[in-house]
């Protein structure tokens, strides 16, 4: 099953993107809204149902995009693979 998570439009700065992705992916309360926390949450996703999780994001901060790409690679063979759709 594919689960889509849509980031609200306009979240282009690093801080706005980190907050909006956390909201869209329903990150736990302990999410620290930094790049390390983003990677940790995206490569876990244990609070979400099994299946592919697709983040629909218009793009923005390059450092956030790099973490998203790393998480895609890291989760490719997991029960909850993550990918980004633009």
34-51 pLDDT, tens digit per residue, is 999 999 999 999 999 999
Instruction: Tell me what pLDDT residue 48 has.
Output: 96
3-state secondary structure of 34: coil
Q: What is the DSSP string of 46-73?
A: TTS-SSEEEEE-----HHHHHHHHHHHH
Confirm if 42 and 83 have CB atoms less than 8 A apart: no
Q: Where do the domains of the chain lie? A: 2-85
Cα distance between residue 15 and residue 37, in whole Å: 13
Cα separation of 54 and 19, whole Å?
A: 17
Query: Which pLDDT does position 74 carry in this prediction?
Result: 98
Domain 2-85 has CATH 3.30.370.10: yes
Rounded average pLDDT per 10-residue block, the chain, 86 residues: 94 94 97 98 96 94 96 97 96
How far is it, in rounded angstroms, from Cα 2 to Cα 54?
7
């Amino acid at each position: 099953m594919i689960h889509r998570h849509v980031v609200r439009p306009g979240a282009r700065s690093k801080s706005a993107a980190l907050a909006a992705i956390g909201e869209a992916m329903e990150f736990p309360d302990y999410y620290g809204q930094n790049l390390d926390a983003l990677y940790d949450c995206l490569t876990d996703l244990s609070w979400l149902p099994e299946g592919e999780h697709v983040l629909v994001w218009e793009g923005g901060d390059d450092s956030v995009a790099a973490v998203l790409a790393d998480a895609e690679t890291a989760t490719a063979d997991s029960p909850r693979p993550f990918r980004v759709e633009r």
